[in-house]
């Protein structure tokens, strides 16, 4: 008990000096007794050195090397490791997780050997691989020359998403530099593993992107196939469940949809080989109802003043549920790398029971998320013109009209207007009236606009000569020419009495040439 | 040259320039050139604001030319036709710039042809000079064709 406390205290103290989560890399090499032949033939030295060199390339420090059997010890030199004892793969992984390494490489013959347990019980290790602390798992089976030793396995584990780029680079580089191996991505199996392709490649073409107007119903149908991105895994039988659509609007989108309904037919995937495409075409129907602009004033105003086009990614997603027994390695891969028994593994230089790996690593049910992002184009309606510039223009017109009206009323109320009577003496029979400041002459049933009377000034209309304004002098004749007719006008101020009782008005009407008008 | 003639020939030259400009715009629309297709991204409100502004400006120009022509001694009827042509051409120009895309270029071309014929008819009456009118007609057509060909060689393909 006291010893355990001591260990715990030391661990706590050590943890203070450990790298922060996701900061380091460690290469853990199996030093169990079963690994001795690989140390002796130089394989571990060679592979270990290669991985060490790869780990040094990215800036992901510190880089450590450890050797494990029933415990893990850090070492300075791969060649100093002595192979002895049992294999505790789970202890090795726990060490890397507890010490918060971001990236872990494990080199092992994959023969889990606990004291008192049957050899080959690797379930405890694989259960840990399924835990959330392990982000990615890539497995490299390393085939050996036949007749010597079974093949070994190199695990590359990503424990922190921050090191994803380094992880991808290092694993790709290891696969490139190492012969007699393949890169097996085993976790996650539910992402980036199946993609969709259009049955008609032209429908993915940008030019045929459907264009919708405000208020139109969005109903899209497409035919798809599913393509596996697995390199060595095949899917025997799987169900497509929960087809969903989550239209991805731009950040400042002003559009809204009525509903989100999507169906796919059929809903089974059978015999999808690695890198292959389903022979079956799947019909996808998307019904989003009517798309329309948000009808609040602010949205409409913004719509009138922004690019009237919006591109919407429909973001369809299909979940393909694969029970773990429905994952299988391809026959070709199993033929090259897997062996049915430890004896044949030794004879062929292959790895024992590799065919069970999907059963061990995969979840009971893997739901592979398959995104599909067809795009549609929506244009704003023309009637936004009524919002802008319609409303500002209408407001401007109303404001200007009201202003003019108010100004006129104010002027009429405050200004003493002179009163003029206009008497047209020539041509005979012509009558003059003043309406709204304009002097109109009625001649032979036609009305001619002669000019504008303003205070004591007369401004001729277009086509009236002389063109210059003239001062109105009471009782003095004013000669004008308009429409090839000569006019002689006499302006007079009406008498107060005549204007008051209407008598003067009556008298002037008798001769037909005179009228009294208030200006 | 007296004011009346100067005004009439200025109008003839001005009409030629704007008709050729519209010819180029319609050609660009027919070929869906980026210059025209860029109008798809102009906000609807701004497009219409420009259209209204153009209407106001063209009506102002028409009014100014109306006064100038009347004072220059041109008959009120002829000056009214001139007003109409000025407003129509201004509208066509702005419509071609802001609203005519590849889909509607034929409509714009028909509209342009009608305006051209209408302009020729009004100028025939206004110039009252057969030689000058024929010269205007041929010069406008040939210059229009040449400029369209020149621009088609200068602008990049779609």
Q: Average pLDDT per run of 10 along chain B, which is 158 residues long? A: 82 91 87 74 88 88 88 84 87 79 80 91 89 94 92 74
Give the separation between CA A401 and CA A414, rounded to whole angstroms: 20
Q: Which residue of A has its CA nearest to B47?
A: A385
Q: Which residue of A has its CA nearest to B66?
A: A462
Among A392, A415, A438, identify where a domain stops.
Answer: A415
Sequence-distant (6+) residues with CB within 8 A of A359 are A324, A325, A327
Which CATH number does the domain housing residue A40 bear? Answer: 3.40.190
**Partner A contacted by B67 (CB < 8 A):** yes
| The total number of structural domains that make up chain A | 4
CA distance B132 to chain A (A): 29
In a domain, B158, yes or no: no
According to DSSP, residue B147 is labeled H
End-to-end CA distance of chain B: 47
In a domain, A263, yes or no: yes
Q: Are residues A385 and A373 in the same domain?
A: no
| The total number of structural domains that make up chain B | 1
Give the separation between CA A519 and CA B4, rounded to whole angstroms: 38
Question: Are A385 and B48 inside 8 Å of each other by CB?
Answer: yes
Angle between helices B44-71 and B76-98 (to 10 degrees): 160
The answer to whether the complex's ipTM is over 0.85 is: no
In a domain, A7, yes or no: no
Q: Are residues A169 and A205 in the same domain?
A: no
Question: Are A305 and B67 inside 8 Å of each other by CB?
Answer: no
In a domain, A3, yes or no: no
Q: Is A171 helix (H, G, I), strand (E, B) or coil?
A: helix
User: How confident is residue A428, by pLDDT bands cut at 50, 70 and 90?
Assistant: confident
With vertex at residue A201, the alpha carbon angle to CA A195 and CA A207, rounded to the nearest 5 degrees, is 115
At A508 the pLDDT is 45
Between β-strands A101-108 and A24-30, what pairing exists: parallel, antiparallel or unpaired? parallel
Sequence-distant (6+) residues with CB within 8 A of A112 are A87, A88, A89, A90, A119, A120, A121, A122, A124, A125
Residue ranges making up the domain that contains A370 = 194-380
Q: Are residues A302 and A394 in the same domain?
A: no
At A418 the pLDDT is 55
Q: Are residues A61 and A179 in the same domain?
A: yes
Q: Are A487 and A463 in contact (CB under 8 A)?
A: no
In a domain, B61, yes or no: yes
Tokens of A353: 């029971």
**Partner B contacted by A384 (CB < 8 A):** yes
Q: Is the pLDDT of residue A511 over 50?
A: no
Q: Is the pLDDT of residue A500 over 60?
A: no
Q: What is the gyration radius of the CA atoms in chain A, in angstroms?
A: 47
Choose, out of A303, A308, A468, the residue to mutate when testing the contact with B (most B CBs < 10 Å).
A308
Among A355, A380, A405, identify where a domain stops.
Answer: A380
Q: Are B127 and B136 in contact (CB under 8 A)?
A: yes
At A205 the pLDDT is 53
User: Which residue in the block uniquely carries the two structure tokens 């070709």?
Assistant: A332
At A312 the pLDDT is 87
- CA atoms within 13 A of residue A494's CA, in its CB half-sphere: 26
Q: Are residues A33 and A80 in the same domain?
A: yes
Give the separation between CA A217 and CA A152, rounded to whole angstroms: 59
In a domain, B110, yes or no: yes
Residue ranges making up the domain that contains B21 = 3-151
Q: Is A242 helix (H, G, I), strand (E, B) or coil?
A: strand
**Partner B contacted by A466 (CB < 8 A):** no
A463 Rama class: left (phi>0) / alpha (psi -120 to 50) / beta: left
Q: Are residues A234 and A110 in the same domain?
A: no
Q: What is the mean pLDDT of chain A?
A: 84
At A498 the pLDDT is 43
Q: Are residues A149 and A250 in the same domain?
A: no
Q: Are residues A200 and A332 in the same domain?
A: yes
| Segment B74-96, tens digit of pLDDT | 888 888 888 888 888 888 888 87
Q: Are residues A386 and A501 in the same domain?
A: no
In a domain, A206, yes or no: yes
Among A158, A187, A216, identify where a domain stops.
Answer: A187
Give the separation between CA B136 and CA A340, rounded to whole angstroms: 95
Give the separation between CA A355 and CA A340, rounded to whole angstroms: 8
Q: Are residues A168 and A19 in the same domain?
A: yes
Question: Are B52 and A389 inside 8 Å of each other by CB?
Answer: yes
**Averaged pLDDT for residues A209-233:** 88
Q: Are residues A232 and A345 in the same domain?
A: yes
Among the listed residues B13, B8, B6, B27, the one whose alpha carbon sits nearest the alpha carbon of residue B140: B13
Question: Are A307 and B41 inside 8 Å of each other by CB?
Answer: yes
**Partner A contacted by B6 (CB < 8 A):** no
Question: Are B43 and A389 inside 8 Å of each other by CB?
Answer: no
Question: Are A463 and B70 inside 8 Å of each other by CB?
Answer: yes
Q: Is the pLDDT of residue A496 over 50?
A: no
Q: Are residues A262 and A394 in the same domain?
A: no
Give the separation between CA A486 and CA A425, rounded to whole angstroms: 10
At A204 the pLDDT is 54
Closest by Cβ to A380, choosing from B44, B49, B52: B44
In a domain, A5, yes or no: no
Q: Which residue of A has its CA nearest to B39?
A: A307
| Segment A475-487, tens digit of pLDDT | 889 999 988 888 9
């Amino acid at each position: 008990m006291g010893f355990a406390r001591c260990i715990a205290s030391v661990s706590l103290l050590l943890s203070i000096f450990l790298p922060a989560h996701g900061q380091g890399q460690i290469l853990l090499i199996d030093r169990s007794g079963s690994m001795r032949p690989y140390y002796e033939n130089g394989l571990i030295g060679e592979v270990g050195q290669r991985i060490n060199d790869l780990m040094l390339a990215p800036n992901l420090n510190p880089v450590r090397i450890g050797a494990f059997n029933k415990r893990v010890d850090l070492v300075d030199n791969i060649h100093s490791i002595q192979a002895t004892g049992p294999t505790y793969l789970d202890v090795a992984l726990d060490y890397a997780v507890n010490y918060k390494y971001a990236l872990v490489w494990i080199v092992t013959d994959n023969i889990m050997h606990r004291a008192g347990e049957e050899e080959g019980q690797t379930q405890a290790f694989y259960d840990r691989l399924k835990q959330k602390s392990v982000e990615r798992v890539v497995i490299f089976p390393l085939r050996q020359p036949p007749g010597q030793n079974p093949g070994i396995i190199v695990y590359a584990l990503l424990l922190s998403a921050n090191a994803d780029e380094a992880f991808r680079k290092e694993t790709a580089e290891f696969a490139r530099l190492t012969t007699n191996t393949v890169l097996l991505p085993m976790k996650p199996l539910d992402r980036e593993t199946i993609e969709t392709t259009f049955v008609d490649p032209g429908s993915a073409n940008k030019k045929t992107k459907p264009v919708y107007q405000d208020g139109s119903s969005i109903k899209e149908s497409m035919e798809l196939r599913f393509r596996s991105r697995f390199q060595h895994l095949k899917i025997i039988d799987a169900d497509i469940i929960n087809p969903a659509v989550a239209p991805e609007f731009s950040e400042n989108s002003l559009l809204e949809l009525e509903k989100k309904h999507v169906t796919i037919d059929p809903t089974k995937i059978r015999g999808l080989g690695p890198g292959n495409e389903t022979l079956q075409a799947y019909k996808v129907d998307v019904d989003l109802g009517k798309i329309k602009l948000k009808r609040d004033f602010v949205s409409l105003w913004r719509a009138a003043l922004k690019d009237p086009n919006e591109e919407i990614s429909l973001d369809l997603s299909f979940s393909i549920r694969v029970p773990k027994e429905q994952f299988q390695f391809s026959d070709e891969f199993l033929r090259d790398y897997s062996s049915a028994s430890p004896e044949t593994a030794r004879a062929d230089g292959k790895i024992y029971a590799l065919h069970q790996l999907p059963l061990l690593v995969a979840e009971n049910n893997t739901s592979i998320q398959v995104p599909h992002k067809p795009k549609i184009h929506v244009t704003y309606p023309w009637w936004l013109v009524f919002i802008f510039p319609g409303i500002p223009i209408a407001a401007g017109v109303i404001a200007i009209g009201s202003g003019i009206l108010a100004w006129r009323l104010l002027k009429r109320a405050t200004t003493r207007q002179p009163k003029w009577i206009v008497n047209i003496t020539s041509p005979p029979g012509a009558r003059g009236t003043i309406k709204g400041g304009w002097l109109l002459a009625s001649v032979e049933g036609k009305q001619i606009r002669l000019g504008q009377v303003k205070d004591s000034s007369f401004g001729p209309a277009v086509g009236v000569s002389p063109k210059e304004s003239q001062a109105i002098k009471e009782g003095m004749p004013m000669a004008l020419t308009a429409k090839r007719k000569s006019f002689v006008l006499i302006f007079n101020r009406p008498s107060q009495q005549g204007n008051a009782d209407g008598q003067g008005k009556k008298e002037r009407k008798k001769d037909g040439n005179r009228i009294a008008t208030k200006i | 040259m007296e004011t009346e003639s100067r005004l009439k020939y200025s109008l003839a030259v001005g009409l030629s320039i704007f008709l050729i400009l519209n010819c180029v715009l319609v050609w660009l629309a027919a070929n869906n050139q980026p210059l025209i297709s860029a109008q798809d991204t102009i906000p609807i409100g701004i497009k219409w604001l420009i259209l209204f502004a153009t209407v106001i400006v063209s009506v102002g120009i028409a009014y100014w030319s109306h006064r100038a022509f009347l004072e220059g001694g041109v008959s009120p009827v002829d000056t009214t036709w001139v007003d109409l042509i000025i407003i129509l051409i201004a509208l066509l120009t702005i419509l071609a710039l802001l609203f005519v895309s590849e889909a509607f270029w034929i409509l714009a071309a028909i509209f342009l042809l009608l305006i051209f014929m209408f302009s020729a008819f009004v100028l025939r009456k206004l110039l009252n000079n057969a030689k000058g009118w024929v010269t205007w007609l041929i010069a406008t057509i040939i210059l229009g064709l040449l400029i369209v060909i020149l621009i088609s060689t200068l602008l990049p393909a779609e």
